[in-house]
Each structure stands twice: as C-alpha cells, then as structure tokens.
Structure 1
Amino acid sequence: MKKLNRLPIFLREVILVAKNKYTKFSDSIIKKGVEKVVRDTNDDHNFNIEIKKRIKKSITIKEKIIEDNIDVISKVVKKIIEAYQQGKKTIWFGNGGSAADAQHLACELVSRFHMAKRPAIPSLALTTNTSILTAVSNDFNFDNVFERQVEAFAEEGDVLIGITTSGTSANVIKALKFGKKKGTINVAFTGENISKIEDVVDYLVDVPSRDTPRIQEAHIMIGHIICDLVEKTLFGEK
C-alpha cells in the first residue's frame, strides 16, 4: 500500500478501479461456479429419481408377465423344441427395435446362448438382407418385405415369430398370414390390448404395457428365456 501511495494520483485511481473490478469479477465467477455445482447436484438427484421410476416400471411389467404370460411362453418353448426335433427352423422378423430383436434372437440360436460346444440351431432373421428389403419395398410395397421372404424360405412346420410392439405392423401381419397358408406355427410378441394380429397367430405373447421401451425390454427378456430353454432342452446342461 505504501508503494501505491508513491504513485501519481491518476495512476493510483486506475489501479484501485481495476482491483475493485477484478474482485467483483472473481466473486461473480465463484458464485456462478457454486450455483452450477448446486444445479448439477440437483440434476443428478432428479436423474436418480427418473432412473428409479423407469426400472421400477420395468420390474412391475415383468411381474405381470409372470402372472399373465407364463403359460403361453411355456407353450411357445415346447412348440419350438418340437419343430427343431422335426428338422424345422425358426424365422424372426419385426421393424426398428423389433428388427434388432429379431436379429439378436436368431443369433443366439445359430451361434450359442450359453453352450459353446453344441450344433448350430437353424434360425433366420428376415431383417438382414438390405438388397431383398429394398428390392421388395421398391418393386412391390414395404408391407410385403417379410411376406415375400416367408414365401421364399418358410416351410410347413417352421415357427414364425413376428415382433411388433403395437401389434398392428402391416408387414408383420401379412407375413404371418402368408405363413398360415404354408402351414407354419405362428407366434407374435406384442404389447397389450391387441386385436388385429390375433387371427393370424397360434400363440400371442402380449406384454401387459403400452410403453414401447418397456415392451421391448420385456420382448428381449422373453426371447432370451426361450433361447435358453430351447438350447438346454435340445442339448442338455453343459
């Protein structure tokens, strides 16, 4: 401070003003930093609440599946095992996330679920050949993309599994309907309150929910259970 007093008055004023502004600026930065930490902490807390809500909702739906869908899932497992024992195959199809589920579950059977040393199980996903998908969509209609492949690949006694959360996907319904003509065993994975698809399936696995993400979570769980039980029944515990 003594050194500051030796400076000319105008220079001392400049330095004092600058120092005052810097102090206010520093205080402002610190205040904003504290506010951000508090805000981020609150956001984390809110996210935790939202995450718990979604997990609990998923658990509730799965508990309802135990009450409402166990019998039909068990019947589907038995039918698929019988089909494989008779030299038949499974064919999976769906749109969007359900297309991914179809590929995922066909993969579990062809590659393996748990058992490394077992024969491949014949299973197809009708969602993988982009040339077929685009050709049929272009030359015919997108509603025919699975129907056309069922005509080409499905045989009497094969198990068709159509996956549609809404239960109203026209291309899934058309494929199942065509499969019926060929003598396939038809299964549908859907959400609740389905009517359009019931007439073309032998087994309806209708997850008790209308929330698409929760339905999809349940579909992959049910698919995993089916693959697991089919593998263990055909090849034993290893």
Structure 2
Amino acid sequence: MSDLLTAQLEAHIRTAEEATGLLDDVRAVGGVLIDAFERGGTLYTFGNGGSAADAQHFTGELIGHYRRDRRPLPAVTLTTDATVSTCIANDYSFEDVFSRQVEALARPGDVVAAFTTSGRSANIVRGLTAARANGATTLLFAGGDGGASLALADHVLLAPSSETPRIQELHTFLLHALSEMLDAWAAGEDLP
C-alpha cells in the first residue's frame, strides 16, 4: 500500500513542478477577473462531479473571503440549484444544463469559467458556446489537451496532466492562487 501512496505523491509533485509554467497565465486570468469585477461583471462557474466541486469552491472563496476581510465578489456556480439543473435536464437534456443557464444570465462584461478534466463533456462545450454567443469572456480550467472546450476559451489554465486526480489537484491550486490575487485586490493591497 505504501508504494501506491508514494507513487501518488510523486505524481502530484511532478505535476506541480510542471505547472510553474502556468503562473503567467494565472496572473493574466487574475487581471481579466479583476477587470470584470471593476466593471460590474459577474463570474459564472460550472463543472461536472469533482469539477463541479472545484467550481463551487472558487465561488465560495470569492463570495466569502480567502484570507482577508473584504467585500464579497459577484460569483455564481450553476450547479448549486438542483431544481433548475434537474428541470433543464428533464425538459431539455443534461447536455443543456449549463447552456440554458448561461444563456439566461451571462452578458458582455461577465466571465464564464468551466472546470473540466477532459474538456469533452457536451454540457461543458455547450455552456462555453452559449457564453461566447452572449458576449461573455470564457475561461477554461482543464487538463490534457483541453478537448473540444479548448477552442471555445478566451483564457485557458491547462493542467499538465491527463490524469483526473492530478488535474483536480492542480485546479485547487489554481483557484487558490487566483483567490489570493482577487482577495488582495479587493482588500486594496498590492497584488502578489
């Protein structure tokens, strides 16, 4: 068992080391989000399974706070309303769960962020497509090659792995790094 655990830790460390090349992209995405918030925009997040949890985690850090006492930032996770999600899945299809909500809510000046390990899920692709059609800025947290979602993203944070656990571990780091930036900005501090 300990060999399996060691292998998992070593894989995590390798992925984290390979992710140092993403730091400039994280800074750029932080700037995009700050600009959106300064202009009155809202961040909409979504994902499936563990990626839905990452989307909710990011929203929680922004509405609550990360480490500083500051104003809440406008963020909404589209997976948190079970009534709406199941209504859309029942009346239309599961593939439309995010696109219907994005179509109803997202506007120019908003940012729509999809969390996904593969970028291939139809509901993720349709959600990003609706965001683009509505004029929102699109952000993709993904892994591997980003799948079909890659072409729909204005900004991409692509984990250097195709393994779901490594991708989700890195997504947690990325959302925490962005939370640190946004928290500092909203508190009036110099950005990290």
Q: Confirm or deny: 8 A CA contact 2:119 2:143 kept in the other structure.
A: yes
Task: Write the letter of the residue equivalent to 2:26.
Answer: I
CA distance in structure 2 between the aligned counterparts of 1:194 and 1:152, rounded to whole angstroms = 26
CA distance in structure 1 between the aligned counterparts of 2:25 and 2:65, rounded to whole angstroms = 24
For residues 84-113 of structure 1, give each alpha carbon's deviation from its aligned partner in whole angstroms, at most 9, with x where no partner exists: 111111111000000111111101100111
**Offset, 1:61:** 0.4
- Which residue matches 1:107? 60
For residues 1-29 of structure 1, give each alpha carbon's deviation from its aligned partner in whole angstroms, at most 9, with x where no partner exists: xxxxxxxxxxxxxxxxxxxxxxxxxxxxx
* Equivalent position SS for 2:167: helix
Q: Confirm or deny: 8 A CA contact 2:70 2:186 kept in the other structure.
A: no
**Offset, 1:136:** 0.2
CA distance in structure 1 between the aligned counterparts of 2:150 and 2:7, rounded to whole angstroms = 32
- Asked if 1:59 is matched to 2:13, the reply is yes
* Equivalent position SS for 2:172: helix
- Which residue matches 2:110? 158
What pairs up with 1:1-238 in 2 under 5 angstroms? 47-67=1-21, 69-115=22-68, 117-237=69-189
Ranges of 4+ aligned residues in structure 1 off by more than 4 Å: none
Give the CA RMSD over aligned residues. 1.3
Unaligned runs of 5+ in 1: 1-46
Task: Write the letter of the residue equivalent to 1:160.
Answer: V
**TM-score, normalised to structure 1's length?**
0.77
**Offset, 1:48:** 2.4
CA distance in structure 2 between the aligned counterparts of 1:192 and 1:157, rounded to whole angstroms = 29
* Equivalent position SS for 1:112: coil
RCO (CA 8 Å, sep 6+): is it higher in 1 or 2?
Answer: 2
**Offset, 1:70:** 2.0
**Offset, 1:72:** 1.8
CA distance in structure 1 between the aligned counterparts of 2:121 and 2:173, rounded to whole angstroms = 21
**TM-score, normalised to structure 2's length?**
0.95
CA distance in structure 2 between the aligned counterparts of 1:79 and 1:221, rounded to whole angstroms = 18
Task: Write the letter of the residue equivalent to 1:132.
Answer: V
The verdict on how the C-alpha distance between 1:99 and 1:195 changes in structure 2, with shifts beyond 3 A counting, is closer
* Equivalent position SS for 1:106: helix
| Farther-moved stretch of structure 1 (71-80 vs 48-57) | 48-57
Task: Write the letter of the residue equivalent to 1:103.
Answer: Q
Identity value in percent: 34
Aligned length: 190
CA distance in structure 2 between the aligned counterparts of 1:64 and 1:150, rounded to whole angstroms = 33
Task: Write the letter of the residue equivalent to 2:112.
Answer: L
* Equivalent position SS for 1:196: helix
**Offset, 1:237:** 4.2
Specify which structure has the higher proportion of helix.
Answer: 1
CA distance in structure 2 between the aligned counterparts of 1:53 and 1:236, rounded to whole angstroms = 42
For residues 101-129 of structure 1, give each alpha carbon's deviation from its aligned partner in whole angstroms, at most 9, with x where no partner exists: 111110110011111x3111110000010
**Offset, 1:194:** 2.7
Q: Confirm or deny: 8 A CA contact 2:118 2:147 kept in the other structure.
A: no
CA distance in structure 1 between the aligned counterparts of 2:73 and 2:145, rounded to whole angstroms = 33
